[in-house]
Amino acid sequence: MKNPLYLRQLKRDLNHWIELGLVDQANAEAILASAGSTRGGHSLAGTLTNLGVILLGFAALSFVAANFWAIPKLVQLTILLLSMWLSFGAAAWLLDRDRTGYGHAALLLGIALFGVNIMMIGQIYHISAHWPDGILTWGLGALLIALLIPSRAALAAAFVILGVWTGTESIGFEDPLHWPYLLLWGVMVVAVHRLGWGPGIHLAIVSLVFWLLTNSWQAAQLLNWGEGETVTFFALMWATAWAGSAVLASFRYEKARAIEVYSAGLFLIAFFLLFLVAPDEFGERPPSWMIAAGGVCVLGIGAALLAGFRKTLRAIDTAALILLTVSAALYPFFVENGEEPVQWLYRGFYLAGAVWAVGRGAYVDDKALTNIAFAALTAEILHIYFGTFATLLGGAAFFFVAGIGLIGLSFVLERIRRRLMAAAEDGNRP
């Protein structure tokens, strides 16, 4: 059930809107009934149940691991299989009676026990196969359940388990490019859309970023890319994704805003990291990097122009995205000699880009985008501040000036942020 205080306030608002003629009585009753519905909502009981199920899964794993070898093998297998099927049977019974919260929690417990089964059977019979395959089997089972039921809880478990699998393959076994994960990731993204699960897009984006991070350095070594080229390529990729999110928004794709927020944040991080890479790390720029970076750059420019043509980007937004993309692509060419004026020029350009991103967030009324842009702006100001004044002042004087400067900076930035958000809210009022 929804928060009674919320329902009470909603009822007062509806009565007021009826008096103003904004809502009729029939619609008001339908709105109130919909708001008070328990279906599709999140409750404290459901959340606690899912947390309890996770703890039960850890308890089962700990108990079996501690006491398993004192139990005969036949009894071991019976305990493992019976507990798993009992969990799935309880889930089917609960879901059939429309107790969806507890039913999906039981599914989650069954998935956890399925993983315990795989691990313990491997230990019992000393199976010496490639052990990450067991994690893959566990993740595939969770994904199959998510598709057949369907179940958001099982899909969340599949994202986590398969993320562990690809991380193990990429880091533990140094697979240069663990591309099979992308096939399963695509299936999970389709499942997110099939379920109409809003938070699932966040899991999808985070898991893709994790895959990129765990695979990027091995792939860069394989392609003979330096650290500078790799970070530059990441910046270009996220700039292109940022422009691409605007194209998706023009087709009324409901997850476009979330993609924009993530892409903007990751681009600003990658561009900031370019300033931390030593100039000598921007080396030979091999042909593979030139082709890849050039292709992504052209794609990003094209996406920005298309979004501008379809009116989901203003002219200033289109120009800013194109300039940021091109500047990131050219950074390795200008900075390789370590010339100080070039670095200062780029830092100023980064500050201007962050200010534009703050304005972009205020214009689309997205507090997350605004706050991320403010964080990038603050980080670069602090980077310049500490890098400059630390060499000019003594220890005590530096810390004193730094403290006063930080307090003043926080005050100014917070006032600017509040004014922008207030202006955006006023602009959205009818």
Residues 308-334 pLDDT 10s: 999 999 999 999 999 999 999 999 888
State pLDDT tens for residues 18-66.
877 777 777 777 777 776 554 444 455 556 666 666 676 666 666 666 6
Provide the b/e sequence for 46-68 (b: ≥16 CB within 10 Å).
Answer: beebbeebeebbeebbeebeeeb
Residue given tokens 């500078």 in the structure block:
228
pLDDT at 158: 96
Overall residue count recorded for the chain in this entry: 430
- pLDDT for position 299: 97
Q: Which amino acid is at 268?
A: L
400: CB partners within 8 A, 6+ apart: none
User: From the first residue on, what is the mean pLDDT of each consecutive set of 10 residues in the chain (430 residues)?
Assistant: 58 79 77 60 56 66 63 75 89 87 86 86 71 92 93 94 92 77 95 89 93 85 87 95 95 90 96 88 85 96 96 94 94 77 86 91 88 89 71 54 64 67 54
pLDDT at residue number 1: 42
Structure tokens at 178: 């663990």
Domain spans in the chain, listed from the N-terminal domain onward: 1-33, 224-430
Judge contact between 112 and 62, C-beta under 8 A: no
Q: Enumerate residues 6+ apart whose C-beta is below 8 A from 256.
A: 245, 246, 248, 249
Q: Where are the alpha helices (DSSP H) in 275-339?
A: 287-309, 315-335
Q: Which of 144, 186, 181, 189 is nearest to 162 (CA)?
A: 181
pLDDT of residue 41: 46
Tell me the average pLDDT of the chain.
Answer: 82
Give the pLDDT of residue 38: 45
Query: Residues 5-44, buried b or exposed e (16+ Cβ, 10 A)?
Result: eeeeebeeebeeeeeeeebeeeebeebeeeeeeeeeeeee
The terminus-to-terminus CA distance of the chain in angstroms comes to: 32
Three-class DSSP category at 240: helix
Structure tokens at 209: 């970023």
